[in-house]
Amino acid sequence: MLLMTIAAKSLSSVSAGVTRVATIAAAGTIQFVRALAHRREVMRLGAELDERGLKDIGLVRSDIDGALATSWLDDPSTVLAERSRSTSNLAAARREHALRHAGAAPMLAGKADITVARCA
């Protein structure tokens, strides 16, 4: 009976270890496949969009080239998301700085009192 208890505990610890290793391996495989799929999408994005289309999403061509230059194990879409986020944060900081130094709050076009002179 004691031998069966020891054997059961040994096997349960082995199966837990094997399960842990299998889980880590599966997660790594899923991450690798996801990185390859995202790499393909980033390549397609670079091929389909021109400079103006890239600028609309806050990127430039060198951002895509830099993201694709990362290792095959890394996800290039995370690199692009970080670059786009940093660009938009920089633009927001510049707008805020300009508004602070303008001396007045920005006016909406509908509330502005503008007189247009007509030349004859």
Helix (H, G, I), strand (E, B) or coil at 112: coil
What's the CA gap between 108 and 37, in Å, rounded?
44
* pTM > 0.75: no
* pLDDT grade for 98, boundaries at 50, 70 and 90: confident
**Which residues, 6 or more positions from 51, have their beta carbon under 8 angstroms from its beta carbon?**
60, 61
Residue 110: pLDDT above 60?
Answer: no
**Which value, in Å, is the radius of gyration of the alpha carbons in the chain?**
28
In terms of Cα–Cα distance, which of 47, 86, 88, 90 is closest to 65? Answer: 47
Residue 22: pLDDT above 70?
Answer: yes
Residue 77: pLDDT above 80?
Answer: yes
- Which residue did the predictor score with more confidence, 89 or 1? 89
In terms of Cα–Cα distance, which of 104, 42, 31, 50 is closest to 77? Answer: 42
Mean pLDDT of 37-49: 91
The amino acid occupying position 105 is A
Residue 108: pLDDT above 70?
Answer: no
Q: Name the average pLDDT for the chain.
A: 78
